[in-house]
Structure 1
Amino acid sequence: MGTHTTHTTHTTGTTHSTDAPHRTDSTARADRSRTVLIIGGRVETVRKARDLGLRVVNVQRPEEYRPEHAELVEAALLADYTDWSVLGPLVTAAHQVYGFAGVTTITEPGVEPVGLISDALGLRGNSHRCARLMRDKEAMRLHLSWRPDAVAAGPVTDREALSDFGERHGYPFIVKPVDAAASFGVRKVEGPEALDAVWRAITDLRGSTDHPFANYFPVDRFLMEEYLDGPEFSVESMSFDGRHVPLAVTEKTTLGTFVESGHAMPARLSPADEDAVLRCAAESLDALGLRHGPAHTEVKLTGRGPRLIESHSRPGGDRIMDLVDAAYGVDIESYVSGWAAGVLPALEGRPEPRAAAATRFLTAEPGRVSAVEGDADVRGQDGVLGVDVTVAVGDTIRPLEASWDRVGQVLVTGPDTDAAVALGEQLAGKISVITTPDGS
């Protein structure tokens, strides 16, 4: 059967669609029941949805739309999907044509649009209220403030608020942007002598556009939180009609800037501590109203027990999805679309590990890249899942202030977590990104 392609440009965005004419009514009904709306994300998300037999309508920013998308999607809505005044009319009109069975995303900027769409179209998904609570760190802390394990927090309104918080809750404490991500702008306030410098940093960062994701994460409001001491973990989970199924507990290592330097699973925890971390995550998801799909919940195991750092209604970044697939055989990215569209069943219980998996990140001194060495040799080593080097000769390396300032990662598997971590550290150490100071 032939196809036709139409391109329609509006002031609110661009629609590219590929549709087959003259379908029978039964075919059209079948198509409508198997069409998923994907907000943002990578090409692989679309490809995996297609592998499940789904038709895909993809909303992308125009600058992030790739030829590979066009080969896979039924239609593309090219627009700023964080602007509901643009997205709402586009999606509503597209729903009349395609009849979405579900809506989903794997990206942090996409979670609130997905909530708005779920509410507006009556699709299976988390509410916008839930999505907003899990995006707005201040709203989340306020919403959970009644819990016995609540973390003391408050907004940074002025310089005096910093001093007052330190007097009430002690030092050190944490200051971070309310709506940012990737550890950007997070600072540890060691004592009263640091308050002036922290206030200057907050003032400088407000309204800043000098970072790669300024369009997605505008820096405006800041939050203060009591400092949580102890090892950090994340719980990767899928939720099915309010039933939370843990997929993995991931242990983390971080740098002094709070930027994560590595992940590994299964986490090396005693059964009692693992149960405590899982319980903290599940209770937090219940309290935040999450009912469907993936979650990435960060927890610190303090001397007073587990405490929630943050939770996100999307899969973990840093290729944690790939680690879960390697260690547990669960493809979160497929489940994101498959559950939303109703073509994959709910998982009955937590999967058993079949291996261990780890990643270690690559960093480099600030400056201009003059050479990248060792990555080709590492790619051929046994146990390597992947090697990403995200810079090339001539690129400029920024100071390490957020996750996006790292320069790559090595992903590996092993028979146990000790072995996977050791291999990841060994192989990451074989890759060098050499820089020279700018201007030299």
Structure 2
Amino acid sequence: MSKQYVLIVGGRIENVRKAKEQGLGVIFLQRPELWSAGHATEVDAALLVDYRNWEVLEPLITAAHQVYGFTSVTTTSEAGVEPAARISDLLGLGGVSHEVALLLRDKLSMRRRLQAAAPRVSVAAEEVTGRAGLAEFGAAHGYPFIVKPIDGIASLGLQLVEGEEQLDEVWETIGRLRGVDHQFATAFPIDRFIMEEYADGPEFSVEAFTFDGRHVVVAITEKLTFDNFVELGHVVPARLAPEAARDVADCVTTFLDAIGLAQGPSHTEVRLSARGPRVIESHNRPGGDRIRDLVEAAYGFDIERYTVAWQSGTLPPLTERPEVRQGAATRFLSAEPGTVTEVEGLAAAKEQDGVLDVTLDVGVGDTVRPLRSSWDRLGQVVAVGPDADAALALCEKTSETVVIRTERRADAVE
């Protein structure tokens, strides 16, 4: 039998390695600036192109398919989900459709679909069209409410509107953020904004995998957040009463049915409000922030491996949710804004029993920015323990041993 190939769009090199371990050939589609020498020894062929440009991508993919005949296309990266869906539609590969990928990316379109198909898991939402619209939404749905970019990621630009007295400031912030440059601005420009009814209560994410239309909730992840909604950490499994966990899982499977997701991974954020669980947003990819590693450590299910290999038929479908083996958690590192002058405790932190990894993304001389989005975090601790409480406690203890000292310049501008 000839070798079966998968087309992988972007993502980390572990995607490629896991596909190869399943006996698959890999055609790798990557932006040239993200290609590394390490990829060359792992892939069977590479297309180095800005895959966000469909006019360039379509003829290249058509030609590559004629040569290699890959039978599936997949991605684990947010920037790759829409191109992967367009490729699947173009070649009839049976993956996530472009329509579904767009619904998950465009928060306003997603809300409109839910308002028609599954209103009980959603909240009221409208597009921001002007300063007057903010006041009208607050009058209709009450305060607080949320304002955020329709195509936003990483909590950038998210605002909590707590009263009418804030509306001038909120409208000014919207104007300032439109067109702002950020590290993913090409793929996720900030332009249009959405207003959403605020859902109170604790926040969770649900890591699920869909097998030919059948959704399996693998894990419910508990989120820890700063006051501005930027994520501080994650805990698996979430510390939830069984009935609440069932309600959250049911909310997500209802949502996935309404959206029409038929294959592959999903990462859906939910708030458990006083009126029941409400979907915040969702993505047809594994969760970021090392959540995929927490799920594997806690449940033994490698969602990344399934993402790259499930449609190729080299892995069995899950028939039910796997049993929890242990707790797993991550805690992000932060420091006061300024210039890094010293880092202490990193080596000792990595040596503690139960600590799987400690990463630090800054060094002496680097700048620590105010914490306004996920990109402003400085690193993270990943740890396991007998249960969720123990894993989180170890994360918090370890994070306190990594000391990042900064010095603030007198002329610094935030």
2:129 to 157, 171, 178: 157
Give the total of aligned pairs: 409
Q: Distance in 2 between matches of 1:197 and 1:148?
A: 31
* Native 8 Å contact 1:58 1:76 kept in 2: yes
- Residue number in structure 2 paired with 1:283: 254
1:400 to 371, 374, 384: 371
Q: Distance in 2 between matches of 1:355 and 1:124?
A: 35
- Equivalent residues in 2 for 1:18-33 (5 A)? 30-31=2-3
Q: Distance in 2 between matches of 1:390 and 1:87?
A: 33
Per the TM alignment, residue 39 of structure 1 is displaced from its structure 2 partner at its CA by: 0.5
1:187 to 134, 151, 159: 159
- Residue number in structure 1 paired with 2:298: 327
2:325 is the alignment partner of 1:354: yes
Q: Distance in 1 between matches of 2:368 and 2:375?
A: 10
- Equivalent residues in 2 for 1:13-412 (5 A)? 30-31=2-3, 34-146=4-116, 147-149=118-120, 150-209=122-181, 211-412=182-383
Q: Which secondary structure does the structure 2 equivalent of 1:144 belong to? A: helix
- Superposed CA offset, 1:114-168 (max 9, x none): 1111111011311100010001001000111133423000001111111111111
TM-score by length of 2: 0.97
TM-score by length of 1: 0.91
Quote the RMSD (CA, aligned, Å): 1.1
* Native 8 Å contact 1:37 1:103 kept in 2: yes
* Native 8 Å contact 1:49 1:55 kept in 2: yes
Q: Distance in 2 between matches of 1:82 and 1:257?
A: 30
* Native 8 Å contact 1:38 1:58 kept in 2: yes
Per the TM alignment, residue 271 of structure 1 is displaced from its structure 2 partner at its CA by: 0.8
4+ runs deviating over 6 angstroms: none
Q: Which secondary structure does the structure 1 equivalent of 2:115 belong to? A: coil
Per the TM alignment, residue 258 of structure 1 is displaced from its structure 2 partner at its CA by: 0.7
Q: Which secondary structure does the structure 2 equivalent of 1:72 belong to? A: coil
- Superposed CA offset, 1:171-224 (max 9, x none): 110000011111111000010110111111110110011x22222211011000
Q: Distance in 1 between matches of 2:51 and 2:179?
A: 21
Q: Which runs of 5+ in 1 are unaligned?
A: 1-25
Q: Distance in 1 between matches of 2:211 and 2:57?
A: 27
Q: Distance in 2 between matches of 1:46 and 1:402?
A: 29
Per the TM alignment, residue 365 of structure 1 is displaced from its structure 2 partner at its CA by: 1.6
* Native 8 Å contact 1:262 1:359 kept in 2: yes
Q: Distance in 1 between matches of 2:371 and 2:136?
A: 30
Q: Distance in 1 between matches of 2:31 and 2:340?
A: 29
Per the TM alignment, residue 414 of structure 1 is displaced from its structure 2 partner at its CA by: 0.4
- Superposed CA offset, 1:38-70 (max 9, x none): 001011111111111111111111111111111
**Percent identity between the aligned chains?**
58
Paired residue type of 2:31: R
Q: Which runs of 5+ in 2 are unaligned?
A: none
